[in-house]
A and B are shown apart, each in its own frame.
Chain A
């Protein structure tokens, strides 16, 4: 069904408005001035490196969101993006730090290794689901827990970790493996991987809308029974969708790994995979929507610091994130139903005009 522009933009706008209201109430209850808080959030964009930082971490959320969205397209809930991206990051960091290659090639190798590692980690739940009927929700959640232990081992000094100052991390990737960014002086440096993320987004759109695979993926998501009758092999689709999702998940940590950290620390940030679920929901699995959702999410993240500076509890951003996700889901559903009913009415009216006078009687 073709959604109108209004149908696309209204729900997120309503959701943001609603969550601002909710946060205002929360702020008033806790005795803070909402205007100060929102002022600080908006004002931060024009200070220091916040704007660039928002885009940078937006790219991270974007990749995680796309990974989740691929699964969502056929109602596969890949909760394991978290474990997949962290596992992929460690493996990529280890391989990147342990090889000597000319620039570009070195970077490419790291990217490919990350994709393969992410896909490999997603292969486990995919096989379990296809051959044993294990719910991917359960298996991926458990694999997330296993990933934590696995990573702790891989990064320890017994395996591939090295002691650097107070921290244990993988061997640093030599400069030939980095991905250069675009410096904005005072404003910070934009990761080069932001553009890769944009390319992945375009690829996602093309795959879904222009290829046979994308059609079969969406058909399986909309109606597994109709897809089966139409000759779509459900097992193959589950397998491919999970592997693709895991592969994209593997890219999630690369903006930071290739553009800033160059090593994987035991304390490297976690949680991007879970944020990706929220971002995919916000963006309604649409590549453009996910991009907006990712940037919004990153912006709210950054706001936590600014709010702290003006003495407002930073947890208010968490409330806002939660409220947006919840209300956007509800708002989309309401608008979707309204649009479907409107379309049926429109079809009825147009048909009524050339075939009978019913519509004339019915639409006065």
Chain B
């Protein structure tokens, strides 16, 4: 019975107000397998999964679940036939208990009493969720929260589980645990559809792979016989630029010097940053590794002058900038690629050329004193659009109309203009497709070769290792160790990040 198809999508087409629609997609998932769906960001994976989960309706094409044609009006219809989805961004209530989170909205199944508890406990055991069912969700770590989401889906009777980028929030060890659970459940007859663009992971866990490019399926691959590189080329549709390491361009000229930096949480004496000291040299990329929430965001924002440290100094190119505001720091030569481009990097409803002005409103070529130079801003925006291959019909469209990758190319182009001395790049390629990623890396490398100092924060360990000249690990607001990217592995970094190498009592 291994060849029974759990899910079969045929000729799915979705016309959609966005850059990529789905066009004639074919997907066949066998019962009891882990089927990966790969593709660049913006290739249409999310759209496809939303269609399969009943959140969107296809304009053309048929969906069959367990051989039966179905038509979903909403996610409840999908759940009725056993299709469930674990979203990338968890949809959980912090102040409710684990049990309540799972039962919420499905009270009709087993009530809210002992019967429900028994069923949840059973599923928790199966998925490796060890947390107490009665503690509030806010005390759970990311990996446990994800398990709660999975139990939630199973509790509603799903046999086919869609996992949308499940590993994006996990450290390597947690990823392994998750994969163990998935394998075990596959043995119990569950079917998984695994959305990811992390090719190594896909090859580890998947039984078969479908690749999507520009909204349509380009083919299926066998993970045992296909290399990551071949997969990536299927996704991009061309030969990849080689990510080989290049010779060092590090000089001994210190550009950014941070010493004794301390930041306290508003309203308490708890240190978010504790005695941070680091130096970034001209021509050097310093990578900061760490599980999110260990102070990286705060460190960047303190260096940018968006937060005020309570102690310590920040020096740029020999000049003390500790007391300066954000604008003065930018004028002194800091470029800043913020971790969340839609919140910190762009004015979404404004045209691209107005976004070029943001952060540069006092400098040529986009302004003259108190007056904006609109012609200059437009010209320079056009330059960025050309040089960074920003795919847009023009510079008058709103930033919101571009896909994430193109938005990010615009941001990187802007922050590298005006000859910065230091670039702070927070997750510069997060949520960006492989093509844009290669281009952004290339531009950062080129600027580095010209003597730019780069402070790189990333959750993508391959990116950190591939791009950095040195890596420091951040844990609970401190810099705990330094690693050499030439020798360190992702697993080593993962241990250092979680503090498992020298675990403290906490």
- The answer to whether the Cβ of B392 comes within 8 Å of any Cβ in the partner chain is yes
- The answer to whether the Cβ of B351 comes within 8 Å of any Cβ in the partner chain is yes
A215 x B359 contact (CB < 8 A): no
- The answer to whether the Cβ of B350 comes within 8 Å of any Cβ in the partner chain is yes
Residues from chain A with Cβ under 8 Å of B331 in the complex: 231
CB distance from A361 to the nearest CB of B (A): 4
CB distance from B249 to the nearest CB of A (A): 28
- CA A22 to CA B195, docked complex, whole Å: 52
User: Of A231, A341, A350, which is within 8 A of B359 by CB?
Assistant: A231
User: Of B16, B349, B358, B370, which is within 8 A of A230 by CB?
Assistant: B358
Binding site of A, secondary structure by majority: helix, strand, loop or mixed?
helix
A211 x B372 contact (CB < 8 A): yes
Determine, out of B164-172, B288-296, B338-346, B489-497, the stretch whose residues face the partner at the interface: B338-346
- The answer to whether the Cβ of A47 comes within 8 Å of any Cβ in the partner chain is no
B372 x A210 contact (CB < 8 A): yes
- The answer to whether the Cβ of B326 comes within 8 Å of any Cβ in the partner chain is yes
B371 x A210 contact (CB < 8 A): yes
- The answer to whether the Cβ of A16 comes within 8 Å of any Cβ in the partner chain is no
- The answer to whether the Cβ of A358 comes within 8 Å of any Cβ in the partner chain is yes
- The answer to whether the Cβ of B304 comes within 8 Å of any Cβ in the partner chain is yes
A228 x B326 contact (CB < 8 A): yes
- The answer to whether the Cβ of A348 comes within 8 Å of any Cβ in the partner chain is yes
- CA A197 to CA B372, docked complex, whole Å: 25
Known: A231-B359, A345-B17. A358 touches B214 (CB 8 A): yes
A215 x B357 contact (CB < 8 A): yes
User: Of A233, A344, A361, which is within 8 A of B216 by CB?
Assistant: A361
- The answer to whether the Cβ of B283 comes within 8 Å of any Cβ in the partner chain is no
CB distance from B406 to the nearest CB of A (A): 9
B349 x A231 contact (CB < 8 A): no
8 Å CB interface, B360-374 against A = 361-362, 367, 369-372, 374
User: Of A210, A213, A222, A361, which is within 8 A of B347 by CB?
Assistant: A222
8 Å CB interface, A329-364 against B = 340-348, 350-352, 355-359, 361-363
A1 x B19 contact (CB < 8 A): no
- The answer to whether the Cβ of A232 comes within 8 Å of any Cβ in the partner chain is yes
8 Å CB interface, A207-230 against B = 210-216, 218-219, 222-223, 225-230
CB distance from B398 to the nearest CB of A (A): 4
Most buried by B among A212, A222, A225, A340: A212
Contact with A along B321-356 (1 / 0, CB 8 A): 000011111110000101000011111111100100
- CA A358 to CA B25, docked complex, whole Å: 11
Most buried by B among A223, A232, A363: A223
Known: A229-B306, A340-B398. A358 touches B343 (CB 8 A): no
B15 x A362 contact (CB < 8 A): yes
Across the interface, name the chain B residue whose C-beta is closest to A228. Answer: B306
B23 x A362 contact (CB < 8 A): yes
- CA A164 to CA B400, docked complex, whole Å: 62
B393 x A226 contact (CB < 8 A): no
- CA A226 to CA B399, docked complex, whole Å: 13
B15 x A363 contact (CB < 8 A): yes
B370 x A211 contact (CB < 8 A): yes
B398 x A1 contact (CB < 8 A): yes
- The answer to whether the Cβ of A2 comes within 8 Å of any Cβ in the partner chain is yes
Q: A230-B327, A230-B361, A346-B393 are in contact. List 10 more A-B contacts (CB 8 A).
A: A212-B372, A223-B346, A229-B344, A233-B327, A341-B17, A342-B17, A343-B398, A347-B402, A348-B20, A356-B214
The interface of chain B, by Cβ under 8 A from chain A, is 13-24, 214-216, 304, 306, 325-331, 336, 338, 343-351, 354, 357-359, 361-362, 367, 369-372, 374, 391-393, 396-398, 400-402
Can you spell out 17 A-B residue pairs with CB atoms less than 8 angstroms apart?
A212-B362, A212-B370, A212-B371, A218-B347, A219-B358, A226-B358, A228-B306, A229-B359, A231-B331, A232-B326, A233-B325, A233-B327, A351-B19, A356-B214, A362-B13, A362-B16, A362-B23
The interface of chain A, by Cβ under 8 A from chain B, is 1-2, 210-216, 218-219, 222-223, 225-233, 340-348, 350-352, 355-359, 361-363
